[in-house]
Amino acid sequence: MIRHAALLSILAVALAGCASAGSPLPGLATPSGASSSTPGTLRLDASANGTTVTVAPGTPIALDLASNPTTGYSWTVTTTPDRTRVSLASPVEGTYAATPVASGVVGSGGTQSWSLHATGAGTTSIALAYARPWESTPPVETFSVTFVVQ
């Protein structure tokens, strides 16, 4: 019984420390009107699509989207952010990392990633489209996020 009480006390202290740290969970965008006061990288994924995030100048931003170039589809930046507000620090096509799979598995997906950096006060956005570049059909998926740097 004492062991359980001690473990519960340790767990409560650990959870309280996590809650007061205020660090965003991966993939969760800071809603409009709130600020990301936590030092470090703001991580965004598909769950941030269509949101507005508020960041402080100097904040690094990582954008990670699922991708599978073995199907011919890839993400393309269709609207670049105003670099005086948020600069695109990585290549416009991003970087791709395949998800590790068992030997012999063909055609697995991975993650296409972009590094951005909040540079100056103001509002800007980035938009991307997931499509086969050689096809003239609408993208199968789109992504956009608006940044408010303050």
Instruction: Examine residue 65 and state whether it is found in any structural domain, yes or no.
Output: yes
The mean of the pLDDT values for the chain is 80
CATH number at residue 49: 2.60.40.2020
Instruction: Examine residue 68 and state whether it is found in any structural domain, yes or no.
Output: yes
Task: Give the residue numbers spanning the domain of 116.
Answer: 25-149
Instruction: Examine residue 102 and state whether it is found in any structural domain, yes or no.
Output: yes
pLDDT at 122: 98
DSSP H helix total and E strand total for the chain: 1, 9
Q: What is the DSSP letter of 25?
A: P
Q: Per-residue pLDDT for 91 more than 80?
A: yes
Instruction: Examine residue 55 and state whether it is found in any structural domain, yes or no.
Output: yes
Instruction: Examine residue 67 and state whether it is found in any structural domain, yes or no.
Output: yes
> pLDDT tens digit string along 37-61?
445 899 999 999 999 999 999 999 9
Q: Per-residue pLDDT for 67 more than 70?
A: yes
What is the distance of C-alpha 15 from the center of its chain? 24
Angle at 117 between CA 94 and CA 35, to 5 degrees: 125
Distance from C-alpha of 149 to C-alpha of 118, rounded to nearest angstrom: 7
For residue 11, report the phi and psi dihedrals to the nearest 5 degrees.
-65, -40
pTM of this structure: 0.71
Instruction: Examine residue 96 and state whether it is found in any structural domain, yes or no.
Output: yes
Where residue 68 falls among pLDDT bands split at 50, 70, 90?
very high
Total domains in the chain come to 1
